[in-house]
């Protein structure tokens, strides 16, 4: 996994000289959303596993995956905002459906953490947040992939187009795909570290 | 010395950009009237936007990792105190 991340960063450097301008943001901004989606799908899976056998381990795993996914989603929003200022001319536009709907889906997952703090009983908290998480992740494909494609948008992929088509230069792809793999690998690594920390914390607090 | 040099090239780069792209990108239009920061970011074919984007990702991830690090330190301290007592 570390090799993949390192390669994702090293390959990027020589090829950048060919490409010009902020098109290079493709390697940074787009993988953020892919990574977020993968993390949320994993938390969706963990939530289902929790409801299946009601082991608290699955609940903490779902929480960790959602936290890391939200982290990458916030990165995606901030980078998108910066990129939009210099190519579209505004930090934020309300006529851009994908931008606003992704912000909305971020709010759904912020609400997930607010919901978690509302319960003191861990079993109750785990069950209700698992159900909420399943609902939240189910709305994601609609908010991020279906509705923006039906509406006119400044993003590529609007009005029924595929987002990644033959107009994308092939040089971009050689770096884009390793970048996706690299960022997803990085996300899994962070998730694993946080998960191990939480498991250790449970063990030590039980021993006290 | 260095900064004034960079500023000169920056403003000239902004000029060529508006000439060739003003019809296509409204965001770049009128960049001369805006602040120093916007002018600087728009220089060198927007390469500093890429820098900014990578820095944002780096700092957000760094912030999160530092937070986790602090939590681990706290946990280590509780383990130490329970072992001593």
Q: For chain A, give every domain's residue range.
A: 2-207
| pLDDT for B4 | 43
Distance from CA of B66 to the nearest CA of A (A): 12
Quote the CA–CA distance of A175 and A12 in Å, as a whole number.
6
Greater pLDDT, B82 or A110 = A110
Distance from CA of A48 to the nearest CA of B (A): 26
Greater pLDDT, A83 or B72 = B72
Chain A hits for B65, Cβ within 8 Å: 190
Instruction: Please identify which residue in the block is written with the tokens 């939200």.
Output: A70
Chain A hits for B82, Cβ within 8 Å: 204, 207-208
| pLDDT for B8 | 45
Mean pLDDT for chain B overall = 67
* Domains in chain B, number: 1
Given a cut of 80, whether residue B18 has pLDDT beyond it is: no
- Which residues does A contribute to its contact with B (CB < 8 Å)? 20-22, 24-25, 28-29, 32, 71, 74-75, 78-79, 82-90, 186, 190, 193-194, 197, 200-201, 204, 207-208
Question: What are the angstrom distances between the C-alpha of B23 and each of A19, A148, B29, B30?
Answer: 22, 26, 8, 12
Instruction: Please identify which residue in the block is written with the tokens 């939530």.
Output: A47
Q: Say which of B49, B60, B72 has its CB closest to residue A82.
A: B49
Residues of chain A with pLDDT under 50: 17-20, 160-162, 166-167
Q: Say which of A71, A86, A200 has its CB closest to residue B27.
A: A86
User: Can you count the helices (H) and strands (E) in chain B?
Assistant: 2, 0
| pLDDT for A40 | 92
| pLDDT for B49 | 74
Cβ neighbours of A90 (radius 10 Å): 13
Total residue count of chain B as it appears in this document: 85
| pLDDT for A66 | 92
| pLDDT for B7 | 44
| pLDDT for A67 | 92
Q: What is the pLDDT averaged over residues B30-34?
A: 54
Quote the CA–CA distance of A120 and A130 in Å, as a whole number.
15
Tokens representing residue B23 in the block: 């019809």
Q: Which residue range(s) make up the domain with B31?
A: 2-84
Quote the CA–CA distance of A17 and B48 in Å, as a whole number.
15
> Which residue in A has a C-alpha nearest to residue B29's C-alpha?
A89
- For residues A102 and A76, is the Cβ–Cβ distance under 8 A? yes
Is the pTM here over 0.80, yes or no?
Answer: no
Distance in angstroms between the alpha carbons of the first and the last residue of chain B = 61
Given a cut of 50, whether residue B20 has pLDDT beyond it is: no
Tokens representing residue B64 in the block: 């999160």
Greater pLDDT, B25 or A83 = A83
Q: What is the pLDDT averaged over residues B20-41?
A: 55
Given a cut of 90, whether residue B30 has pLDDT beyond it is: no
Interchain CB contact of B54 with A (< 8 Å): yes
Indicate which of A33, A77, A82, A191 best probes the interface with B, i.e. most B CBs within 10 Å of its own CB. Answer: A82
* Number of CB pairs, chain A paired with chain B, less than 8 A apart: 81
| pLDDT for B9 | 45
């Amino acid at each position: 996994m570390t090799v993949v991340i390192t390669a994702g960063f090293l390959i990027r450097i020589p090829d950048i000289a060919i490409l010009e301008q902020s098109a290079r943001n493709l390697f940074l901004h787009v993988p953020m959303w892919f990574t977020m989606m993968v993390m949320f799908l994993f938390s969706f899976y963990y939530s289902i596993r929790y409801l299946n056998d009601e082991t608290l381990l699955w609940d903490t795993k779902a929480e960790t995956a959602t936290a890391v996914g939200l982290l990458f989603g916030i990165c995606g929003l901030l980078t998108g905002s910066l990129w939009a200022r210099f190519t579209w001319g505004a930090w934020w536009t309300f006529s851009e459906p994908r931008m606003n709907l992704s912000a909305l889906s971020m709010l759904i997952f912020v609400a997930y953490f607010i919901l978690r703090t509302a319960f003191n009983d861990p079993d109750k908290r785990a069950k209700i947040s698992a159900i909420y998480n399943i609902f939240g992740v189910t709305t994601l494909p609609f908010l991020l992939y279906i509705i923006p494609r039906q509406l006119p948008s400044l993003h590529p992929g609007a009005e029924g187009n595929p987002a990644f088509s033959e107009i994308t230069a092939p040089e971009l792809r050689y770096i884009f795909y390793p970048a996706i793999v690299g960022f997803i690998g990085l996300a899994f690594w962070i998730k694993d570290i946080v998960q191990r920390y939480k498991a250790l914390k449970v063990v030590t607090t039980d021993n006290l | 010395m260095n900064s004034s040099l960079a500023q000169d090239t920056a403003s000239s780069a902004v000029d060529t950009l508006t000439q060739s792209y003003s019809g296509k990108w409204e965001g770049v239009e009128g960049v001369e009237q805006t602040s120093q920061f916007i002018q600087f970011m728009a220089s060198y074919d927007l390469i500093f936007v890429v820098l900014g984007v990578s820095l944002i990702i780096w700092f957000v991830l760094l912030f999160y990792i530092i937070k986790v690090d602090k939590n681990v330190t706290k946990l280590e301290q509780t383990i130490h105190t329970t072992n001593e007592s």
